[in-house]
Structure 1
Amino acid sequence: MANLSSFYQINTDFTNLVLASSTLLGILGSLLTSIIGTKFKRNYLIIIGFIFFAISLFLLLNHVTDTTFAISVLIFKFSWMFTVPYILATVASFDYTGKFINSVNLAIGGGLALGPFIAGFIIENTLNYDALITYTALIFLFSFVLIFGANLKK
């Protein structure tokens, strides 16, 4: 995110403040997940989370301003911490031995490790962030279809 803000010439101090503040929103997202628990159908909560993901990514397309950057980062962090527990709960509902969820956690770690490399490759070859945001949106859409479909089977 810091590279994105630098690309759009957003002040470094402002970027640091936004990124630090996003941690608080992440905590709120986790807290809300803890409070809600299983009171609502999981699919509805996943839909809400993915809508927030989409809004966050949409705000990063084309010309990014200080305001759109801040709103996008804050929404993304909140929705990530809100949605991921429900995604993992969906996976766990199909895993009776605990082996599959271990593989999922390995895949998440692999994504965190390889993601910056892949993102750097995309940015280097396109010279802007729009292609990266578009690819990210497509991956989120694909993951939404998989998770939503898995919840329909339960």
Structure 2
Amino acid sequence: GLVEYLGFDDKSAGYTASAEMFGIALTTVAMTFLSHRINWRHCLYGSLGLMTVANAACTFTTDPMVFVALRFAVGVGAGSVVSLGFAIVGLTANPDRNFGFLIMWVLSYGALGLLVMPSAYQLVGMDGVLWFFALFPAFAMLFVHLLPTNGEDVEIVEADALDLGRGMKACALAAMLCYFTAQGVVWAYLFLIGLDGGLGEQQVANGLTLSQFAGVAGALLAALLGNRFGRALPLTISIAGGAVCLYFLTGTFAFMVFAVFVSVYNFFWNVTHPYLLAAMASFDRHGRIVIYAVAMQMVGLAIGPGLAATVISEGEYGNVNITGAALFILSLLLILPPVITHTRDVHRAAARP
């Protein structure tokens, strides 16, 4: 939309997208230091207000540099909303289910956005779309008063939430970093992997679109299962399953192979994500570890593409898949000790008279 409707060149459009993502990543990292010192409601009001004003201001400028600065401001606001939003969900009584539903609706919203965006541009233009993005966070401000002021004030938390030791928490955060670095490695080049496998651009696009629906199904499954089978088993199956899928996306392959394994891969990703976040939520009783985990998620997604670029050799993407799979397995090895330790400690606490 930036190129076609605002007249930006490809480079300016790229800077714009990068600025917004950098704003999100910067704020999620900053929230790891600030979240326990600030009033969450005040922060959310300010962040949503910033998103509203910056999105609206974008409709009054055609200067690419000003537009980039405004998109960065939108990202700064969005980063706080993402961090605190995940932290608040982590403090609910059933985070496995609630994270699953949250991710399912985010994926559905994204898929719907991709579907209607071309028509929206034609009907209301870029300014109309930007005003929608301005009004959406403004509407969300109506509900901020229902949210906690900080993690210390929440009296109803997950039944098995307890404070793990620093070593186990560090291990869990390292797992989060490895897992989302792997996602950054793979997704940055998945389209090119499809082309390198002998598929046409439309075939690759169709396969990736189908995988979005599989992702929704994965998040829904996590929501429906909740903590019924614990977290170690779902995490083991979904993380290892995602790594295995990459084996089938090397060399030359048919469209059906690509579509099936990309869909299964995305399915496992969106089973893993809510369980990872729910596990983080159970490792402390005040939501801090979830905020740290979201920062690790954003950092991993940011450094993944750069890491992938260093392992590509002469247009061959096999090393990308190997790197991604290795990071997936490493993340599994890192997350299992804190998950198992947490389960053991919960059982011990329940057995005490």
TM-score computed with the length of structure 1 as normaliser: 0.90
CA distance in 2, matches of 1:140, 1:152: 18
Query: Mean alpha-carbon deviation: is it higher for 3-12 or for 139-148?
Result: 3-12
1:16 aligned partner, one-letter code: A
| Residue equivalent to 1:142 | 330
CA distance in 2, matches of 1:62, 1:85: 32
| Residue equivalent to 1:92 | 281
CA distance in 1, matches of 2:231, 2:289: 20
1:10 alignment partner, SS class: coil
| Residue equivalent to 1:151 | 339
2:327 aligned partner, one-letter code: I
CA distance in 2, matches of 1:5, 1:14: 8
Mapping for residues 44-55 of structure 1, pairs under 5 Å: 44-55=233-244
Q: 2:320 aligns with which of 119, 132, 136?
A: 132
Q: CA deviation at 1:51?
A: 3.1
Q: CA deviation at 1:126?
A: 5.5
How many positions carry a matched residue from both structures? Answer: 153
| CA-based RMSD | 1.6
| Residue equivalent to 1:83 | 272
CA distance in 2, matches of 1:147, 1:70: 29
Q: CA deviation at 1:147?
A: 1.0
1:104 aligned partner, one-letter code: A
| Residue equivalent to 2:349 | none
CA offsets per residue over residues 40-79 of structure 1, 9 Å max, x none? 1211111221232122111123444323322221011100
| Residue equivalent to 2:245 | 56
Query: Mean alpha-carbon deviation: is it higher for 128-137 or for 66-75?
Result: 66-75
1:150 alignment partner, SS class: helix
Unaligned runs of 5+ in 1: none
1:18 alignment partner, SS class: helix
- CA separation of 1:18/1:86 partners in 2, compared to 1, >3 Å: closer, same or farther? same
2:326 aligned partner, one-letter code: L
Mapping for residues 34-45 of structure 1, pairs under 5 Å: 34-45=223-234
CA offsets per residue over residues 98-129 of structure 1, 9 Å max, x none? 22221211111112222122212221x45411
User: Aligned residues: percent identity?
Assistant: 27
Kept after mapping to 1: 8 A contact 2:210/2:263 = yes
| Residue equivalent to 2:196 | 7
